[in-house]
């Protein structure tokens, strides 16, 4: 079992002509960690992965693997193995030949390779399927073969480029658990690229959220979700009601924001924004749909909002209520399904309440596009 | 089969359906099968003056095939060494041209197929195609001029004092091989290019990521994938070079005769159609047998070639 080799990106820039794909990335990935880059398509996350695997050289800055500078080393000289988005299994090789290709390249004998392939096939629960062609396997099985093929090379770092995106929902959720288990078992560093926040949050020890080449926040999944650093992170990860306005008062860790349409509201200043906001600054406050609830009190206050129901829907684990506040401010509330029906007719007036600690205030910034 | 035909007519309608069937049938039967059968029929007949055709002497015979193998009657040698040697040399030369084209075209096809750049690849392909707007015979003559005693190549070599006197490229058959290889280059490039273009780049990168050298990548990933294109190209180049007439006629040295030239002589100079037909049938069947056996050795299916 490997002790875990870390990966460091130091002031890394990647440019294609005038286009800056990655801007000044500074990332410290600890050995044995499951690290995800999360971002919309085109944000540069795959570019970062290609720079780590050696398929492209950074325009500036360094990639260190296990403390060693990787400059000038090709993909075949780095202790990394990459799992491609489309898996890139070799269609004309049998499953066992696919898995042990890295050994064949090093000149291992067929017996030796066959033995190792059988071990790995056992590990991915595909015993006895070694003589099939990849085209004879199901999507999830191909997935596991690709993982086995990458692990066969005994890399220190496994790089995964959205490998689950082609699978259907059930299988995807199953593979998340499986990937996490494999990572814990082999103990090597996993770097995972995804645009799916669910994948990033469920599997990762740390998540880096990216927007247009810039890393906005690096922390564990809970902080990303509950304590976003920027407006982009708050709007990209999960759903959020956003209230724009200006800071009108700051009281130790919390602030009152004078929103454009909903009046004065109280919230908690994001820990990354602490000390960076002052009275009069443009700011945004985010309240998750599940943080809103129906209030006992009927009057508005700095943690209560009055809104009219537009429509409501049943989604299984929750009831979603879509509402319109003053001046047409749209809001969404998610009420947990506890057995009783919680559908509201249109035009019913509700008073919504929230805990100020669950409303996060960050400096105004660009939102993730819908 | 019945259901298939019903579906076919339902989809195309009666008029279009029958027109297509007629055209394809006409093409296959009138233009391919019947002429070949009549050629086969000719090859088993005696060489007779026109008035005696259909007469009592017009019987089936193996005399034309015997001639190719054993030579004229009364030939004490036993075998028709001259013609058999030409036959063998033609096949070997055609195989040589095929291998040469394969070696030249594989890197080009790989480069064209795997480059992502759209615009300038199209220009490169166009540059490959444009020379073929020129008539085959003109191109052969152009090669004769280039490779001539006072041609560009000899002049160039002598200018830089690499050689003292001109090399006789024609006599050495270099001009012939160059001309034939050049004539069928596109038929080798395009089938390979089509297949290699559909190869997922990620597979090459995956192999590289796992430490494979370029040799390994081509041996284990690219070539197995490109095999249908390679065999399709090789088949065409081999068949066409073995059956070429213009290039050997124009570029061949005085001592080298192509088997097709013998066939041509029997038909046009000798006026002996049955003899010419027998030669043509032997060439055709031999080429088919060679192609099928090579396909078998390299485990290529007939269906793959159409890909």
User: Does the beta carbon of B209 lie under 8 angstroms from any beta carbon of chain A?
Assistant: yes
Which candidate in B117, B207, B211 is best for mutational testing of the A interface (most A CBs within 10 A)?
B211
Pair type for strands A7-16 and A254-259: unpaired
Provide the residue ranges of all domains of chain B, joining segments of one domain with +. Answer: 1-34, 44-121+167-305
Which candidate in A90, A106, A151 is best for mutational testing of the B interface (most B CBs within 10 A)?
A90
User: Does the beta carbon of A105 lie under 8 angstroms from any beta carbon of chain B?
Assistant: yes
Nearest CA in chain A to B211: A76
Nearest CA in chain B to A97: B220
Is B209–A80 a contact, with Cβ atoms under 8 angstroms apart? yes
pLDDT for res B64 = 85
pLDDT for res A36 = 94
**CA angle (B139, B141, B146) in 5-degree steps:** 95
Q: What would the pLDDT profile of A240-269 be if each residue is shown by its tens digit?
A: 999 999 998 888 888 999 988 888 899 999
Nearest to A102 among B205, B210, B224 (CB): B210
- From chain A, the residues in CB contact with B206 under 8 A are 82, 84, 88, 90
Which candidate in A105, A117, A158 is best for mutational testing of the B interface (most B CBs within 10 A)?
A105
Q: How far apart are CA B209 and CA A151, in angstroms?
A: 12
Helix axes B81-114, B185-197, angle to 10 degrees: 40
Q: Who's near B207: CB < 8 A, 6+ residues apart?
A: A90, A101, A105, B216, B217, B220, B221
Q: How far apart are CA B305 and CA A170, in angstroms?
A: 40
- Residue A218 Cα distances to A66, A230, A299, B162, B186, angstroms: 20, 11, 39, 68, 54
> CATH number of the domain at B44-121+167-305, out of 2.60.200.20, 1.10.3720.10, 3.40.1010.10, 1.10.1040.10?
1.10.3720.10
- From chain B, the residues in CB contact with A91 under 8 A are 225
Q: How far apart are CA B241 and CA B229, in angstroms?
A: 18
User: Does the beta carbon of A177 lie under 8 angstroms from any beta carbon of chain B?
Assistant: no
Sign of CA dihedral A71, A74, A79, A80: positive
Nearest to A2 by CA among A80, A102, A101: A80
Nearest to B203 among A53, A80, A88 (CB): A88
pLDDT for res A3 = 62
Nearest CA in chain A to B226: A92
pLDDT for res B166 = 81
B52 is written with which tokens? 């005696």
A260 is written with which tokens? 């454009």
- Neighbouring C-alpha atoms within 13 Å toward the C-beta of A309: 19
Is A90–B212 a contact, with Cβ atoms under 8 angstroms apart? no
Q: How far apart are CA A105 and CA A113, in angstroms?
A: 11
Instruction: Please report where in the chains the tokens 């403390």 appear, as a residue.
Output: A67
> CATH number of the domain at A231-363, out of 2.40.50.140, 2.60.120.10, 3.30.365.10, 3.30.1490.20?
2.40.50.140
Query: Which residues 38-97 of A are in CB contact (within 8 Å) with B?
Result: 53-55, 74-76, 80-82, 84-86, 88, 90-93
Nearest CA in chain A to B224: A92
User: Does the beta carbon of B192 lie under 8 angstroms from any beta carbon of chain A?
Assistant: no
Is A149–B210 a contact, with Cβ atoms under 8 angstroms apart? yes
Which DSSP string corresponds to A317-328? Answer: SEEEEEEE-GGG
Q: Who's near A354: CB < 8 A, 6+ residues apart?
A: A287, A291, A292, A293, A303, A305
Nearest to A88 among B200, B220, B225 (CB): B200
Q: What is the ipTM of this complex?
A: 0.78
For chain A, what percent of residues have pLDDT higher than 90?
51
Which candidate in B198, B207, B209, B300 is best for mutational testing of the A interface (most A CBs within 10 A)?
B209
Q: What is the rounded (10 degree) CA torsion for B180, B181, B184, B186?
A: -150
Sign of CA dihedral A52, A54, A59, A60: positive
Burial A182-218 (b: 16+ CB within 10 A, else e): bbeebebbbbbbbbebebbbebbbbbbbbbbbbbbbb
User: Does the beta carbon of A102 lie under 8 angstroms from any beta carbon of chain B?
Assistant: yes
Alpha helix stretches (DSSP H) within A251-338: none
Q: How far apart are CA A86 and CA A104, in angstroms?
A: 22
pLDDT for res B150 = 82
For chain A, what percent of residues have pLDDT higher than 70?
99
What is the SS3 assignment for A30? coil
Give the pLDDT of chain B (307 residues) as one tens digit per residue.
577 888 888 888 889 989 999 999 999 999 999 999 999 988 898 888 877 777 777 788 888 888 888 877 666 667 788 888 889 999 999 999 999 999 999 999 999 888 876 778 888 888 888 888 888 888 889 988 888 888 888 888 888 888 888 888 888 888 889 999 998 999 999 999 989 988 998 999 999 999 889 999 999 999 999 998 999 899 999 999 999 888 888 888 777 788 999 999 888 888 888 889 999 999 999 999 999 998 888 888 777 665 5
pLDDT, chain A, mean: 89
Is B206–A88 a contact, with Cβ atoms under 8 angstroms apart? yes
User: Does the beta carbon of B117 lie under 8 angstroms from any beta carbon of chain A?
Assistant: no
Q: How far apart are CA A180 and CA A160, in angstroms?
A: 12
Nearest to A40 by CA among A206, A194, A201, A231: A194
Q: What's the average model confidence in pLDDT over A282-286?
A: 93
Find the length of chain A. Answer: 370
* Beta carbons of A290 and A318 less than 8 angstroms apart: yes
Q: What would the pLDDT profile of A41-82 be if each residue is shown by its tens digit?
A: 888 899 999 999 999 999 999 999 998 899 888 888 899 999
A142 is written with which tokens? 């191909």
User: Does the beta carbon of A106 lie under 8 angstroms from any beta carbon of chain B?
Assistant: yes
CATH code linked to domain A7-226: 3.40.50.300
- From chain A, the residues in CB contact with B207 under 8 A are 90, 101, 105
Q: What is the rounded (10 degree) CA torsion for B125, B128, B134, B135?
A: -110
Q: Is A318 exposed, middle or buried (0-12, 13-18, 19+ CB in 10 A)?
A: middle
If one counts every other C-beta atom within 10 angstroms of the C-beta of residue A250, the result is: 18
Among the listed ranges A183-192, A289-298, B43-52, B182-191, which one has the minimum average pLDDT value? B43-52
- From chain B, the residues in CB contact with A75 under 8 A are 205, 208-209
Which residues on adjacent β-strands are paired with residue A9? A27, A63
Nearest to B209 among A53, A93, A106 (CB): A53
Which candidate in A52, A74, A85, A92 is best for mutational testing of the B interface (most B CBs within 10 A)?
A92
Q: What is the rounded (10 degree) CA torsion for A29, A35, A37, A38?
A: -140
- From chain B, the residues in CB contact with A102 under 8 A are 210-211
User: Does the beta carbon of B216 lie under 8 angstroms from any beta carbon of chain A?
Assistant: yes
Sheet holding A80-83, edge to edge: A80-83, A157-161, A189-194, A34-38, A206-211, A214-219
pLDDT for res A1 = 38
Q: How far apart are CA A71 and CA A75, in angstroms?
A: 11
Rounded to the nearest angstrom, the gap between the alpha carbon of residue B168 and the centroid of all alpha carbons in its chain is 26
Q: What would the pLDDT profile of A119-177 be if each residue is shown by its tens digit?
A: 999 888 888 889 999 999 988 889 889 999 999 988 999 999 988 887 888 888 888 88
Q: How far apart are CA A219 and CA A206, in angstroms?
A: 5
DSSP class of A59: S
Q: What would the pLDDT profile of A3-56 be if each residue is shown by its tens digit?
A: 688 999 999 999 998 899 999 899 999 999 999 999 998 888 999 999 999 999
Nearest CA in chain B to A102: B210
Q: Who's near B265: CB < 8 A, 6+ residues apart?
A: B276
Nearest to A203 by CA among A237, A224, A178: A178
Nearest to A1 by CA among A138, A184, A247: A184
| H or E stretch at A193 | strand A189-194
If one counts every other C-beta atom within 10 angstroms of the C-beta of residue A93, the result is: 18
User: Does the beta carbon of B213 lie under 8 angstroms from any beta carbon of chain A?
Assistant: yes
Find the length of chain B. Answer: 307
């Amino acid at each position: 079992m490997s002790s875990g080799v870390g990966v460091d990106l130091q002031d890394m820039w990647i440019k294609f002509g005038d286009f800056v794909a990655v801007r000044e990335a500074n990332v410290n990935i600890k050995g044995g960690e499951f690290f995800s880059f999360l971002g919309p398509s085109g944000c540069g996350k795959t570019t970062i992965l290609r720079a780590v695997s050696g398929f492209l050289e950074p325009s500036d800055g360094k990639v260190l693997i296990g403390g060693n500078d990787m400059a000038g080393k090709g993909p075949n000289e780095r202790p990394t193995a990459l799992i491609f988005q489309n898996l890139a299994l070799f269609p004309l090789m049998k499953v066992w030949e696919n898995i042990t290709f890295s050994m064949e390249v090093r000149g291992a004998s067929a017996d030796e390779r066959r033995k190792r392939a059988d071990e790995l096939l056992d590990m991915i629960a595909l015993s006895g399927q070694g003589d099939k062609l990849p085209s004879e396997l199901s999507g999830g099985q191909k997935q596991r073969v690709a993982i086995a093929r990458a692990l066969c090379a005994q890399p220190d770092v496994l790089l995964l480029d959205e490998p689950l995106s082609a699978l259907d929902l059930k299988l995807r959720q199953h593979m998340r658990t499986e990937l996490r288990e494999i990572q814990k078992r082999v103990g090597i560093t996993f770097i995972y690229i995804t645009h799916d926040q669910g994948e990033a949050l469920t599997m990762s020890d740390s998540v880096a959220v990216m927007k247009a080449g810039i890393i906005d926040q690096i922390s564990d999944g809970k902080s990303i979700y509950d304590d976003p650093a920027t407006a982009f992170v708050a709007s990209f990860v999960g759903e959020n009601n956003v209230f724009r306005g200006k800071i009108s008062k700051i009281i130790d860790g919390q602030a009152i924001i004078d929103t454009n349409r909903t009046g004065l509201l109280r919230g908690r200043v994001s820990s990354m924004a602490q000390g960076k906001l002052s009275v009069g600054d443009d700011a945004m406050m985010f309240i998750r749909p599940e943080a809103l609830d129906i209030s006992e009190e009927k009057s508005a206050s700095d943690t209560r909002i009055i809104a009219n129901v537009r429509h409501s829907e049943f989604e299984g684990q929750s009831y979603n209520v879509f509402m319109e506040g003053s001046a047409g401010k749209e809001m969404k509330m998610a009420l947990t399904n506890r057995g009783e029906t919680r559908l509201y007719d249109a035009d019913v007036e509700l008073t919504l309440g929230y805990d100020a600690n669950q409303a996060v205030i960050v400096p105004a910034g660009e939102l993730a596009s819908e | 089969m019945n259901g298939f035909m019903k579906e076919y007519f339902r989809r195309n309608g009666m008029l279009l359906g029958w027109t297509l069937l007629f055209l394809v049938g006409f093409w296959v039967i009138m233009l391919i099968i019947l002429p070949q059968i009549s050629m086969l029929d000719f090859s088993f007949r005696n060489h007779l003056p026109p008035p005696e055709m259909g007469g009592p002497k017009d019987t089936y015979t193996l005399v034309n095939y015997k001639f190719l193998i054993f030579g004229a009657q009364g030939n004490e040698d036993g075998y028709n060494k001259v013609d058999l040697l030409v036959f063998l040399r033609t096949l070997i030369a055609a195989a040589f041209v095929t291998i040469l084209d394969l070696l030249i075209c594989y890197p080009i096809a790989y480069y064209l197929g795997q480059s992502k750049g759209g615009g300038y690849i199209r220009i490169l392909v166009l540059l490959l195609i444009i020379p073929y707007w020129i008539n085959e015979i003109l191109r052969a003559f152009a090669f004769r001029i280039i490779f001539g005693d006072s041609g560009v190549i000899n002049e160039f070599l002598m200018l830089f004092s690499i050689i003292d006197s001109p090399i006789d490229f024609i006599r050495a058959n270099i001009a012939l091989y160059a001309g034939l290889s050049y004539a069928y280059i596109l038929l080798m490039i395009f089938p390979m290019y089509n297949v290699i273009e559909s190869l997922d780049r990620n597979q090459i990168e995956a192999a590289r990521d796992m430490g494979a050298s370029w040799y390994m990548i081509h041996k284990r990933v690219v070539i197995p994938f490109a095999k249908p294109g390679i065999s399709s190209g090789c088949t065409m180049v081999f068949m066409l070079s073995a059956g070429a007439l213009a290039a050997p006629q124009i570029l061949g040295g005085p001592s080298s005769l192509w088997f097709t030239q013998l066939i041509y002589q029997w038909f046009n100079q000798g006026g002996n159609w049955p003899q010419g037909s027998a030669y043509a049938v032997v060439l055709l069947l031999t080429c088919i047998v060679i192609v099928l056996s090579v396909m078998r050795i390299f485990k290529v299916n007939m269906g793959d070639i159409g890909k």
